[in-house]
Amino acid sequence: MHIVSLAGGIGGARFLRGLRATAPDDQITVIGNTGDDITLFGLRVCPDLDTVMYTLGGGINEEQGWGRLDETHVVKEELAAYGVEPQWFGLGDRDFATHIVRSQMLEAGFPLSQITQALCTRWQPGVRLLPMTDDRCETHVVISDERGRRAVHFQEWWVRLRASVPAESFALVGVDAAKPAPGVLEAIAEADLVILPPSNPVVSIGTILQVPGIREALLAKTVVGVSPIIGGAPVRGMADACLTAIGVETSAQAVLELYGADLVDGWLVAPEDSGVALEGVRVAARPLLMTDQDAAAAIARAALDLAQELSG
Amino acid sequence: MHIVSLAGGIGGARFLRGLRATAPDDQITVIGNTGDDITLFGLRVCPDLDTVMYTLGGGINEEQGWGRLDETHVVKEELAAYGVEPQWFGLGDRDFATHIVRSQMLEAGFPLSQITQALCTRWQPGVRLLPMTDDRCETHVVISDERGRRAVHFQEWWVRLRASVPAESFALVGVDAAKPAPGVLEAIAEADLVILPPSNPVVSIGTILQVPGIREALLAKTVVGVSPIIGGAPVRGMADACLTAIGVETSAQAVLELYGADLVDGWLVAPEDSGVALEGVRVAARPLLMTDQDAAAAIARAALDLAQELSG
């Protein structure tokens, strides 16, 4: 079976590890969010792609969910000693190497999709990992603070401000001119099933869906989503702050409606959300906490079973 | 007193530390060799400038003579894990931070001279450190090996091949169009004394002297040189391999003749070279081994004394 899964960072990566474990013979293509990407110290950082790559490749800091196992932070300390900003973004030494390789390849003219493939020859994630687009396309957040109303890069809001200042709106700068990366539409066209993992519905999945052509291509497909909200709270992260900003309630019901019945065919929710319903969508309830790899695999299995029901 | 000193890497840096110690009240401007500079992994590396900066700034790996104190090598290991070349150049994590800052500033449009000044605000070397030029100007070495006759970057010959393959010639690529960095000619014009420290006479001092305008400006000045050769052998490094390549004997006499009596007014040699003589040059002999910082300071003092004799 050909499966396409969209993915943000930690939640998506953990779900994908479960999916790969439960469906080892299926061909999985991952379309990763690049709206979180940022250029720091002249180096191109792709947090979500790297989280997927490291998680599936066995290099992730398991406890933290992002960054590298056995990480050190000498370069960051030295940059701080030079007084170079920003100092709020936690790049480790091992991680720096990834960004150095990526940046060097970008400078040499390679598109991000080819670079990601090259990085994956080391990590062997067991899935085909594609960026949603090769075009620069970054999420910015409009906030109001003591410095007035202004737009900051998503990472500044997310990491430096810990989403403590309310987001007024999000702007995916560059998306109008962005094209899906090579292979993205082809993979969707070939897919027997598309999965929306429990990633952030606004700044991860929502971002991917904004790339012209991707959402349209998905409409023709069987799409199963896993709710990132359990009983009114995000599984992890600060999805509630993002949902609130776009006027959407933090609930499994509201996220399903945000995605829309035209897109989603099956929707997996937690038992406490079993009342969720939307015409044209088959809803199934089961525990959704990815407490360990087995739990993630069981959730992925449930998503595949739901897809099976839809086609049966 | 205003002193200008040219400088290569380790030998020059150690001499300069001695000079600063023995002449704490003098204003010292260092014109550093940038012919060894190389772009690695997309980052701009300036080995000689950094060796001077780290040595005078208290950040040098004392035993090694180059690179940072308490250095780690995580980034390099990771780059090797990605299979990225070259793997023969030993960049440490702390050192990487310097190159990241430099590269980011270059990308932002700053010239190397301003970047060097910015880096020195951290290191406070106690001298004004100027690159010989802001223009890219790198030494290449013509060699013949199993791959035929070809030119390699100086660092490949020096670090990877350890100068084991004979150099047929050196080419300072880009020097014809290079201009002295801002401040270089002004510092020479103001100088009461110019010092040629015991750096490599071919690929360090010789390189600086090739930048159009620098040698010419020095001719009008009192110039005291410290021989980098003691009794037919380099004080350190592989200067003999460089001298042989340009058809010059490895001796204090031959290096003096290479520099020329038009440039050099005073020449400090080791006791075993006390027979060195050249018309128009005052030669003085004293121990020249920089065994420790006191020894370096004493040699610097001897150079200042020789200058004093010349002007007296």
Helix (H) or strand (E) holding A272: none
Over range A175-197, report the average pLDDT: 98
Superfamily of domain covering A1-312: CofD-like domains (3.40.50.10680)
What counts of helices (H) and strands (E) characterise chain A? 12, 14
Residue A171 has phi, psi (to 5 degrees) of -130, 125
Q: Do B79 and A97 touch (CB under 8 A)?
A: yes
Q: Name the minimum distance, in Å, from the CA of A74 to any CA of chain B.
A: 6
Mean residue pLDDT of chain A comes to: 97
pLDDT band (50, 70, 90) for residue A123: very high
Q: Where are the domains of chain B?
A: 36-131
pLDDT at B63: 94
Neighbours of B66 (CB within 10 A): 18
What's the CA gap between A56 and A116, in Å, rounded? 14
51-80 in B: which are within 8 Å (CB) of A? 72, 74-75, 78-79
pLDDT at A158: 94
**Residues in chain B where the model's pLDDT stays below 70:** none
What's the CA gap between B201 and B215, in Å, rounded? 14
Over range A116-144, report the average pLDDT: 98
| Peptide bond preceding B212 in cis form (omega within 30 of 0) | no
Q: Are strands B27-32 and B2-7 parallel, antiparallel or unpaired?
A: parallel
For the stretch A247-260, pLDDT in tens is 999 999 999 999 99
The size of chain A, in residues, is 312
196-255 in A: which are within 8 Å (CB) of B? none
For the stretch B43-62, pLDDT in tens is 999 999 999 999 999 999 99
pLDDT at B194: 98
Residue among A44, A43, A36, A41 at smallest CA distance from A10: A36
pLDDT band (50, 70, 90) for residue A30: very high
Residues of A in contact with B119 (CB under 8 A): 82
- Torsional sign, CA A26, A27, A29, A30: positive
By CA distance, what is B79's nearest residue in A?
A: A97
What's the CA gap between A104 and A116, in Å, rounded? 13
Residue from A100, A106, A116, A120 whose CB has the most chain B CBs within 10 Å, to mutate? A100
Q: Is B173 exposed, middle or buried (0-12, 13-18, 19+ CB in 10 A)?
A: middle
Angular region, A67: left φ>0, alpha ψ -120 to 50, beta rest: left
pLDDT: which is higher, A38 or A147 = A38
pLDDT at B311: 86
Say whether B32 sits in a helix, a strand or coil. strand
Q: Flag whether pLDDT at A237 surpasses 90.
A: no
pLDDT at B178: 98
Residues of B in contact with A109 (CB under 8 A): none
pLDDT at B218: 98
Q: Residues 6 or more apart from A308 whose CB is under 8 A from it?
A: none
By CA distance, what is B104's nearest residue in A?
A: A42
Q: Name the minimum distance, in Å, from the CA of B42 to any CA of chain A.
A: 5
What's the CA gap between B103 and B185, in Å, rounded? 26
What's the CA gap between B229 and B226, in Å, rounded? 9
Residues of A in contact with B82 (CB under 8 A): 97-98, 101, 119, 122
For the stretch A107-122, pLDDT in tens is 999 999 999 999 999 9
Cα of first residue to Cα of last residue in chain B, in angstroms, is 15
pLDDT at A262: 98
**The pair of three-digit structure tokens given for residue A79, joined into one six-digit string:** 């940059």
Q: Are B172 and B211 in contact (CB under 8 A)?
A: no
pLDDT at B204: 97
What's the CA gap between A79 and A87, in Å, rounded? 8
Beta strands in A17-147 (DSSP E): 27-32, 38-40, 43-45, 128-131, 138-145
Residue A70 sits at the vertex; the CA angle it makes with A66 and A74, to the nearest 5 degrees, is: 95
Q: Are strands A233-234 and A229-230 parallel, antiparallel or unpaired?
A: antiparallel
Say whether A120 sits in a helix, a strand or coil. helix
Q: Which CATH number fits domain B36-131: 1.10.8.240, 2.40.50.140, 3.20.10.10, 3.30.230.10?
A: 1.10.8.240
Q: What is the DSSP letter of A287?
A: -
Residues of B in contact with A84 (CB under 8 A): 101, 104
For the stretch B113-144, pLDDT in tens is 999 999 999 999 999 999 999 999 999 999 99
Q: Compute CA distances A91 → A47, A107, A304, B175, whole Å.
A: 10, 21, 36, 38
Residues of A in contact with B122 (CB under 8 A): 81-83
Residue A87 contacts B where some CB pair is shorter than 8 Å:
no
